[in-house]
Amino acid sequence: MKVAIIKYNGGNISSVMHALDRLGAEYVLTDDRTLLENADKVIFPGVGEAAATMSHLREKGLDEVIRRLTRPVLGICLGQQLMCSSSEEGDTDCLGIFDVPVKRFQPSALLEKVPHMGWNEITECRGSLFSGIGDNPYVYFVHSYYVPVCPWTAAVTGYIQPFSSALHKDNFYATQFHPEKSGPVGAAILSNFLKL
Amino acid sequence: MLAKRIIPCLDVKDGRTVKGVNFVNLKDAGDPVELGCMYSDAGADELVYLDITATHQGRETFTEVVKRIAAGISIPFTVGGGIGSVQDVERMLSAGADKVSVNSAAIRRPELISEIAGAFGQQVCVVAIDARMIDGNWKCHLNGGRLATDIDLFDWAVQAADMGAGEILFTSMDHDGVHGGYANEALARLHDIVPVPVIASGGAGRMEHFRDAFLLGKADAALAAGVFHFGEIDVKELKRYLCGQGIPVRIN
């Protein structure tokens, strides 16, 4: 089993690597086209700004590489958002794997603080990523932009309004939350991904 | 629903956790990683590690500790103590910390907050404020509470959030160590005027105090040290109690 983590200018990729270490998985951190195309699993992590990250991916030719991957791909946080059609963050076109635009949270009251940060429930979970994790578990979120509920929604979370906390289409999987920071539940989700 | 968070706080000196931690089931309660894992397993939502080392060499030890924490713990953690520059923050984040807390340095030079938020994002910067009531007014203190200032708690909290603080961690020096409950009135006022999450600190003695910090103080999170370290309150039991009180908490 060979896992490739997409290397780009985003931050905090080390927490994904630590989580894989704890699961005993082997991985490479790379932006090499051949390594990514030949990996059994690809993880597209993300902490950063959408427009800047997209132009970095385009410069490296990684946008095309990611779109054409045929093995299971997991986008995390910004990774999920960049797999959508566009983002209001920096008003950029994204990879377009999921044909849905990413929007900024519009809080309507002081109670609704942005970023959405902390532990929240994932509901209506579907797909093998979520097998054996129990009903509506809590996972860890940090984000100011969200993916609306759409035909590819694989989990829903309510904050300000219901949004897609996970997406799935063909070999592409994505989570808005950070499984690598979500305790045992997050570890189980990552482990499910590695078993796909 | 977004959960209210329970945050144990650990003091680290020369790479070891301090304060009379007495857990019989731990091989080494002085090991910040082992202790953190125990809290994480019990259901703590985040951890805060404060470096109380004064020496340069101790600081380097702390960076190594942060690396080990990041490798061993699967929940978010904040580090603080002696953070005075963007370089300090960068060192902590690249060692694996999720957030950093700044205190005195931000009062002395408020631009530090916007520098951190600008470089790493708002969610990274926790502004910790130590304050006590003086003649009816909450006044901020520096240097671990040793030095009083004339700066008003609420004015500073609003300014800090405005400059890019992702969270406000408010410790009431009047309540800290007394075990009589959190400063709920001040917390509620902070909640009403500050557009970022507020973490309550100082005063936990019983499980009801956590409930009150959430219901009366409207806090987003509650931090405590002694009651957890001395085993007076068990995190798992506390979560079950809060759940029974109708407070949204993470029980997985």
Among left, alpha and beta (phi > 0; psi -120 to 50; other), residue A132 is left
* Contact between chains at A115 and B70 (C-beta distance less than 8 A): no
pLDDT grade for B20, boundaries at 50, 70 and 90: very low
Closest C-alpha to B62, from B50, B75, B78, B77: B50
Closest C-alpha to B99, from B113, B118, B120: B120
Who's near A155: CB < 8 A, 6+ residues apart?
A122, A123, A124, A125, A126, A130, A164, A165, A166, A175
* Position B7 pLDDT exceeds 70: yes
pLDDT of amino acid A131:
96
Average pLDDT over residues A113-129: 94
Higher-pLDDT residue of A1 and B158 is B158
pLDDT grade for B26, boundaries at 50, 70 and 90: low
pLDDT of amino acid A10:
67
**What does the mean pLDDT of chain A come to?**
94
Instruction: Quote ipTM for the complex.
Output: 0.91
> Which residue numbers of B have CB closer than 8 Å to A's CBs?
1-3, 5, 40, 45, 70-72, 74-76, 93-94, 96, 98, 120-123, 166-167, 192, 195-197, 220-221, 250-252
Q: Which of A110-114, A176-180, B19-23 has the highest mean pLDDT?
A: A176-180
pLDDT in tens, B191-231: 999 999 999 999 999 999 999 999 999 999 999 998 998 88
Determine which of A9-23, A33-47, A90-104, B143-157 has the lowest per-residue pLDDT on average: A9-23
pLDDT in tens, A54-72: 999 999 999 999 999 999 9
* pTM of the shown model: 0.94
What is d(CA B252, CA B234) in angstroms, rounded to the nearest whole number? Answer: 16
What is d(CA B90, CA B41) in angstroms, rounded to the nearest whole number? Answer: 28
pLDDT of amino acid A8:
85
Lookup result for tokens 């690598």: A180
What is d(CA B26, CA B239) in angstroms, rounded to the nearest whole number? Answer: 22
* Contact between chains at B252 and A11 (C-beta distance less than 8 A): no
When CB atoms are compared, the residue of B3, B74, B120 closest to A120 is B3
Residue of B nearest to A108 (CA): B195
pLDDT of amino acid B28:
67
pLDDT in tens, A133-152: 999 999 999 999 999 999 99
Query: Rounded to a whole number, what is the distance in Å from the CA of B147 to chain A's nearest CA?
Result: 32
What is d(CA A143, CA A145) in angstroms, rounded to the nearest whole number? Answer: 6
When CB atoms are compared, the residue of A120, A137, A180 closest to B2 is A120
Among left, alpha and beta (phi > 0; psi -120 to 50; other), residue A193 is alpha
CA atoms within a 13 Å half-sphere pointing along the CA-CB vector of B126: 26
pLDDT in tens, A2-58: 999 999 876 668 899 999 999 999 999 999 999 999 999 999 997 788 998 999 999
Lookup result for tokens 């910040």: B32
What is d(CA B132, CA B223) in angstroms, rounded to the nearest whole number? Answer: 17
Query: Rounded to a whole number, what is the distance in Å from the CA of B50 to chain A's nearest CA?
Result: 20
CA atoms within a 13 Å half-sphere pointing along the CA-CB vector of B83: 33
- State how far the alpha carbon of B136 is from the alpha carbons of A28, B41, B129, B213, in Å: 59, 42, 18, 21
CA atoms within a 13 Å half-sphere pointing along the CA-CB vector of B1: 12
Average pLDDT over residues B52-58: 76
pLDDT of amino acid B57:
75
